[in-house]
């Protein structure tokens, strides 16, 4: 998994939504945006990434990622239904979308660190006891 690419892709969603809110043309389907298994990260989480499900970082990333997509989908849904969507209200600081986006990035970085440690054969201090 390209964790750095996933971080960039999720950060780019803010710009994509900002652009969409300026002219909602129904090119985004709220149910597709809200689905957490359609993007590359979601496909990995619900597929090959399952091998990391025993790590505490994995369920947090899955949860944060689903929350991110739910928040993005809700924004698109409002825009598509002609509701007034003020950019600062939905994309600004301390909004559900921004908080979820930040949590996804932090969770991705935590997973990357844990996966990098596993790949090079370094065990975390918690699991470095003999017999573990």
- Whether 51 contacts 45, CB under 8 Å: no
- As given in the structure block, the two tokens for residue 116 are 């990098």
pLDDT tens-digit map of 1-44: 889 998 998 889 989 999 999 999 999 999 999 999 999 999 99
CATH no., domain 3-121: 1.20.120.30
Dist CA 36 CA 86 (whole Å): 24
- Whether 64 contacts 104, CB under 8 Å: yes
Kindly report whether the global pTM for this prediction surpasses the value 0.75: yes
pLDDT tens-digit map of 39-92: 999 999 999 999 999 999 999 999 999 999 999 999 999 999 999 888 878 888
- Collapsing DSSP states into helix, strand and coil, what is residue 84? coil
HSE-up of residue 115 (Cα within 13 Å, Cβ side): 18
The residues spanned by each domain of the chain are 3-121
């Amino acid at each position: 998994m390209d964790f750095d690419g996933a971080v960039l892709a999720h950060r780019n969603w803010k710009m994509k939504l900002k652009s969409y809110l300026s002219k909602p043309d129904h090119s985004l389907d709220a149910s597709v945006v809200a689905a957490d298994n359609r993007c590359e990260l979601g496909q990995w989480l619900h597929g090959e990434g399952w091998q990391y499900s025993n790590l505490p970082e994995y369920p947090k990333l899955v949860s944060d990622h689903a929350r991110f997509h739910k928040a993005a989908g809700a924004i698109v849904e409002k825009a598509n239904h002609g509701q007034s969507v003020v950019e600062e209200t939905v994309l600004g600081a301390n909004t559900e979308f921004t908080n979820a986006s930040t949590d996804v990035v932090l969770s991705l970085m935590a997973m990357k660190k844990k996966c990098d440690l596993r790949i090079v054969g370094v065990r975390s201090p918690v699991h470095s006891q003999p017999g573990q």
